[in-house]
């Protein structure tokens, strides 16, 4: 009768509790990167895929162990690799699963490894032994030959790895939760440079505080590429803010696939600039079309009504897709983009945040972000954040659609469009406010948009409709 060595444990059989604790340790400060690259010898492309686990709300270390485990590696081999890294905290997690004779590695280090094991030759598979055997033979465990070799160049290799890993690193705020279900492909910076003709100004679509947006041709497809302007060497608050917003946008656009939400094709982190690659919108932003920029044709009333419906449809999707609503936080005409059929797509999720659970009316936030003319008082003054912030912002967009005016104009008597609209008598709305560039308004769309807009901007958040009801009103009004 034979028995099996209780310490011969494959990585894929690592108990859940120990695996979870180990992954938490290795995730901290991205220790998994050195383990995977320097010790397990995975290439940069494989480690990029492992690191992408963060965007799916998963542990990169767990992903790494799964990948390494497919090669039938054992817990003992992992224990030895951690010894080479002098990561004794992680070794302590595995200690109960490793033959006690190897525990000396924790206390005395790798230099004693050769004394613990035979002088030459690999570790071998467990040997069968009889229960009644009188000799107490030490069980040998299989491992690679290279685990026995002293690594005299360990310090040099670690320096090289620290330098090279910049090419694969995908920074992420570990305290941030993610709702991402999938991940768009990572694109090399060189590909995007080629796609835009070397960032040629002829392909420039727009410029802002975050950086620049270029039109490009990537894989025979027209795309819009947002490139962060701040250089990577700048570790100031601005760089951190833009990076955080880019990561947030990446997560949310990956998790929210909808006809009225801008499609994200891919991303590029690790080059001179971070980049996000979107579906190209040939008709620009709603703001551009309402102001007839670049000589564009004015929008008709049926088109404006359709744009309002599509935007409301996208917003109500965001608010109802998860256990917590996703609040965009920066709804405005400049962030509503139009495709070749004038179908609206909500873009720029850099300020998006999760809202309160259903039983709560709002959450308190520490800082107010967004565009002032589109934000309600309870958010600006009391920092109360909820889906009703988006409802209010959408109300201002409805006013823009009806009037063709800017949300803020310092040369207007009432600088804020909201105040301008509310200053007009109800009976004078169509005559005074309607954008005449929209042509005949036989279906009284302008008046309906203003009426619904007023409901959306109600002073009290609880009196504003949820976006599901706003969409229902637009579809049946």
* Burial of 304 per CB tally in 10 Å (0-12, 13-18, 19+): buried
Of the candidates 27, 274, 288, 330, the residue annotated as catalytic is 330
Q: At what angle do helices 16-27 and 60-69 cross, to 10 degrees?
A: 120
Q: How far is 231 from 242, CA to CA, in rounded Å? A: 11
The neighbour count for residue 266, using CB atoms within 10 Å, is 20
Residue 144, both tokens? 């690679």
Please give the Cα distance from 117 to 114 (Å, whole number). 5
Strand partners, 261: 346
Angle, alpha carbons 325-181-259 (nearest 5°): 65
Q: If you count them, how many residues does the chain have?
A: 477
3 state DSSP class of 12: helix
Q: Which residues pair with 264 in a beta bridge?
A: 278
Q: Scanning the structure block, which residue is given the tokens 């949820």?
A: 466
Which residue's entry shows tokens 């992420």? 172
Q: Which two tokens stand for residue 64?
A: 């790494």
Q: 215 φ, ψ to 5°? A: -85, 135
Phi then psi for residue 331, to 5 deg, are -70, 125
Largest CA distance in the chain: 105
**Residue 330 is a catalytic residue:** yes
Question: Given CA atoms 51, 161, 190, 208 in this order, what sign does their dihedral have?
Answer: positive
- The tokens of 465 are what? 């409709």
The first and second tokens of residue 197, run together, are 């003709």
Which residues is 415 bridged to in the sheet?
none
Active site residues: 330
């Amino acid at each position: 009768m034979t028995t099996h060595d209780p310490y011969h444990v494959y990585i894929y059989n690592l108990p859940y509790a120990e695996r979870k604790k180990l992954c938490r340790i290795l995730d901290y400060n991205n220790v998994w990167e050195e383990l995977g690259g320097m010790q397990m010898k995975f290439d940069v492309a494989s480690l990029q895929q492992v690191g992408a686990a963060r965007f799916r709300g998963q542990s990169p270390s767990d992903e790494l162990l799964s990948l390494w485990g497919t090669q039938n590696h054992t817990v003992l081999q992992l224990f030895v690799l951690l010894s080479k890294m002098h990561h004794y905290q992680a070794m302590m997690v595995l200690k109960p699963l490793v033959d006690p004779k190897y525990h000396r590695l924790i206390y005395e280090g790798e230099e004693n490894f050769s004394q613990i094991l035979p002088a030459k030759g690999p570790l071998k598979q467990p040997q069968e032994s009889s229960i009644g055997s009188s000799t107490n033979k030490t069980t040998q465990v299989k491992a690679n030959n290279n685990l026995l070799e002293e690594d005299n160049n360990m310090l040099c290799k670690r320096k090289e790895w620290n330098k090279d890993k910049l090419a694969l690193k995908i920074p992420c705020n570990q305290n941030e939760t993610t709702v991402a279900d999938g991940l768009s492909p990572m694109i090399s910076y060189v590909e995007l440079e080629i796609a835009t003709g070397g960032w040629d100004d002829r392909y420039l679509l727009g410029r802002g505080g975050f950086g620049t947006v270029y039109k490009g041709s990537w894989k025979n497809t027209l795309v819009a590429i947002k490139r962060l302007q701040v250089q990577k060497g700048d570790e100031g608050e601005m760089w951190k803010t833009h990076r955080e917003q880019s990561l947030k946008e990446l997560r949310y656009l990956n998790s929210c696939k909808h006809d009225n939400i801008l499609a994200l094709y891919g991303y590029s982190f690790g080059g001179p600039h971070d980049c996000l690659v979107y579906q190209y919108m040939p008709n620009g932003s709603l703001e551009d079309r309402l102001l007839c920029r670049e000589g564009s044709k004015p929008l008709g009333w049926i088109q404006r009504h359709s744009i309002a419906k599509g935007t409301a449809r996208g917003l109500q999707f965001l608010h109802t897709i998860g256990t917590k609503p996703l609040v965009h936080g920066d709804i405005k005409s400049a962030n509503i983009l139009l495709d070749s059929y004038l179908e609206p797509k909500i873009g720029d999720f850099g300020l998006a945040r999760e809202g309160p659970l259903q039983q709560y009316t709002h959450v308190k936030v520490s800082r107010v972000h967004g565009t002032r003319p589109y934000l309600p008082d309870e958010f600006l003054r009391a920092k109360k954040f909820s889906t009703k912030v988006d409802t209010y912002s959408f109300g201002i967009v409805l006013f823009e659609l009806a009037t063709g005016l800017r949300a803020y104009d310092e040369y207007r008597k009432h600088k804020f469009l909201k105040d301008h609209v509310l200053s007009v008598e109800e009976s004078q709305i169509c005559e005074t406010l309607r954008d005449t560039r929209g042509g005949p308004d036989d279906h009284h769309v302008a008046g309906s948009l203003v009426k619904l807009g007023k409901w959306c901007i109600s002073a009290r958040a609880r009196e504003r409709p949820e976006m599901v009801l706003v969409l229902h009103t637009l579809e049946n009004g």
